[in-house]
């Protein structure tokens, strides 16, 4: 009985783990993009992997978790926003380091705001999520 319950809630936790992946990936993009834009453009912006991950989460939410359309679109928008704000410091047209740092701080505020208001509210903290996978 416990295994069956675990399998029923597993898609939700997997979806939450993907959301945290997008947050950490966005932070990595923002930090690296602040210093070396070319590296971000060549290495970190692998469109195939990111689009595949977003599509996988969309299917996971739609088929396994049977979320409402509103929840499905909010999850998708949340993950795309985390990724986009992470890319912002590397693609913003800044002329010096101070402007780049300002863009980095602004995008960081938005990313932390999305994480705090959306991801933590629906998934719990990252430690709680890892604890659930450990059971």
Q: pLDDT digit string (tens) for 39-66?
A: 666 655 566 666 776 777 677 666 655 5
In whole angstroms, what is the distance from residue 81 CA to residue 5 CA?
Answer: 31
Q: What is the mean pLDDT of residues 104-119?
A: 74
Q: What are the residue boundaries of the structural domains of the chain, listed by start?
A: 2-134
**Residues 4-50 pLDDT 10s:** 555 455 666 777 777 777 777 777 777 777 777 666 666 555 666 66
> Is residue 129 within 8 Å of residue 123, measured between CB atoms?
yes
Instruction: Tell me the average pLDDT of the chain.
Output: 69
The answer to whether the beta carbons of residues 89 and 30 sit under 8 Å apart is yes
Chain position carrying tokens 């450990």 = 134
Please tell me the pTM assigned to this model. Answer: 0.62
pLDDT at 3 over 70: no
């Amino acid at each position: 009985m416990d295994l069956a319950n675990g399998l029923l809630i597993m898609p939700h936790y997997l979806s939450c783990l993907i959301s945290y992946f997008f947050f950490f990936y966005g932070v990595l993009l923002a930090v690296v993009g602040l210093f070396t834009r070319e590296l971000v453009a060549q290495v970190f912006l692998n469109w195939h992997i990111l689009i595949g991950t977003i599509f996988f989460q969309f299917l996971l939410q739609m088929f396994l978790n049977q979320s409402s359309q509103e929840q499905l679109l909010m999850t998708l928008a949340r993950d795309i926003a985390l990724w986009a704000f992470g890319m912002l410091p590397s693609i913003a047209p800044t002329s010096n380091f101070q402007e780049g740092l300002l863009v980095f701080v602004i995008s960081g505020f938005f990313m932390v705001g999305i994480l705090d208001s959306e991801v933590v509210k629906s998934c719990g903290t990252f430690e709680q999520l890892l604890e659930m996978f450990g059971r």
